[in-house]
Amino acid sequence: DGPCSCRSKGKGKLAAGCGVRCSPPTFPAPPHRAPPPPAAAMGNSQASPSSASSASFVMASRAFSKQALDDLRAHFSSLAAQSGTRGRAISRPVFLDYFGVRGALGDRLFQLVAKESSVEDGVTFEGLIVSKATYERGTKDEADEFIFQLCDVMGDSILTRSDLEAVLASIHETIFADNKEAKEGSNKSTFEAFLNSAVFSKDAEGVSEKSMSLSDFRNWCIVMPSLRKFLGSLLMPPDSGRAGFQVPLLHYPENISSELLLLNKEYAWHIGGGFSQHDVQEWKLLYHSSLHGQSFNTFLGNVTNGDAQTVLVIKDTEGSVYGAYASQPWERHSDFYGDMKTFLFKLYPEPSIFRPTGANKSLQWCAVNFTSENIPNGIGFGGKPHHFGLFLSAGFDQGHSFTSSTFTNPPLSNTGRFRPEVIECWGIQVKGSNDEKPDLVKGTVLERFKEDRNMLKLIGMASASD
């Protein structure tokens, strides 16, 4: 079975007890492709591709404008000139160095693109265009199938946990290794935990472990949007701000250790996948219960003076970590408000993102000093009063998380009702926005909600709350 004697028969997987990871197999030339005719028979020095590959190239070219094709031709010519192939193809080292995808994932990407080319161990212009047309301009099904094959780093049509471990290792190395700001303080073990939200339901002949079906993979990409964005942009020029490659910059006071923070850079990358914005963003710590005290008023005082968009992160006393992205400012309301950018997420033990379904408009909740039992005081997301997708009481000492049709989320906590151990809130500062704001606003929460204070004066409640 080739140079790797420890593979299980016919499947390219490792046998039990084998500690060697075998190199991905080399793809054979597609059987329908005939060798190009000799140059002399053609009457010139250039051999033309087969009619089948020519037809594929012609169809793929239609996915691009003339200007886009010209730009791609210029990029290809530059890379091919560096490859020692007399301009015919991009070599593997040049390909991997240019696109900058590390590890097994980079090797697999080269194999898939080279498979569409008419030369050995190289990527032709025609092969690049055919691959990009399918991968970037094709239907969702075509793109998903390409990415599914991409993650099968062993190339045996069986996507197992070991394949995805190699994919995640490559992604982590690609995103964090060359980014000094992202690399500092990054945690690879956190990244590996992303596999906890993957499902393997398919039985593969000759392999004892379950494998991942295409449906399983699509569902994993839904709850891991950063992963899908990254895997879907690998053939874009590296200087184009490729989706899924950006890591938010985290700013926090020097008097708080990074070890006390719930949010790390891998988690920020994961949460950032749920945003529609493509610009690199900076996140500023606005509130931390260990630093500011477990106080609802202090929380509101800090976050209502910060950026409109915030990320709330909670760790409960059982060790689970989860939260929500609030796209609108925290303002006093007697009912739900917000927009469809809001979402819930889990970070530990199963990282996932849950977007709004459109089933209702129960998105964001912020109730302050209401006396009606029908209006619970606190902050929340999704569901309905007393049965939220996620809720923190005004005392910041208890909360709950139930399934909701708003986000089709499961309970984020293990037991539905929880007690928070740590609460963080980060302000999202979109690149180019004015971030010169004072740290705190003095006064009670009612002084920060002047309209609410005036309303309460009318019913004689304001003085009692001062």
Check: CB of residue 312 under 8 Å from CB of residue 427: no
Check: CB of residue 155 under 8 Å from CB of residue 25: yes
Check: CB of residue 356 under 8 Å from CB of residue 406: yes
Length of the chain: 466
Instruction: Give the tokens for residue 35.
Output: 């060798």
Q: What would the DSSP string read from start to end of 321-341?
A: EEEEEE-S-----SS-B--TT
Average pLDDT of 311-338? 96
Please report the sign of the dihedral spanned by the C-alpha atoms of residue 95, residue 98, residue 101, residue 102.
Answer: positive
The rounded distance, in Å, linking the Cα atoms of 394 and 23 is 56
Helical (H) or strand (E) element with 348: strand 343-348
Average pLDDT of 350-361? 96
- Residue 431 has a pLDDT of 63
| Entry pTM | 0.80
The rounded distance, in Å, linking the Cα atoms of 442 and 464 is 19
Check: CB of residue 338 under 8 Å from CB of residue 331: no
pLDDT at 454 over 80: no
CB within 8 Å of 139: residues ≥ 6 apart: none
Average pLDDT of 435-464? 40
pLDDT at 406 over 60: yes
- Residue 182 has a pLDDT of 66
Percentage of residues in the chain having pLDDT higher than 70? 77
CA-based nearest residue to 33, from 56, 49, 57: 49
Per-residue confidence band for 256, with pLDDT thresholds at 50, 70 and 90: confident
308 versus 89: which is more confidently predicted? 89
Q: What would the DSSP string read from start to end of 111-145?
A: HHHHHTSSSTTSB-HHHHHHHHHHHHSS-HHHHHH
Instruction: Point out which residues pair with 380 in neighbouring strands.
Output: 365, 391
19-28, 98-107, 210-219, 413-422, range with the lowest pLDDT: 19-28
The rounded distance, in Å, linking the Cα atoms of 447 and 465 is 10
* Distance (Å) of CA 144 to CA 150, 230, 307: 10, 13, 36
Q: Tell me the domains of the chain and their CATH numbers.
A: 56-239 (1.10.238.10), 249-465 (no CATH)
The total of other beta-carbon atoms located within 10 Å of residue 203's CB is 11
Check: CB of residue 268 under 8 Å from CB of residue 242: no
Average pLDDT of 58-65? 94
CB within 8 Å of 345: residues ≥ 6 apart: 270, 271, 274, 322, 323, 324, 325, 351, 352, 353, 354
- Residue 43 has a pLDDT of 33
Instruction: Point out which residues pair with 367 in neighbouring strands.
Output: 378
Counting other chains too, the contacts that 395-403 makes at CB distance below 8 Å and 24 or more residues apart are 395/296, 396/289, 396/294, 396/295, 396/296, 396/299, 396/420, 396/423, 397/294, 399/314, 399/316, 401/322
CB within 8 Å of 381: residues ≥ 6 apart: 324, 326, 342, 344, 363, 364, 365, 388, 389, 390, 391, 406, 407
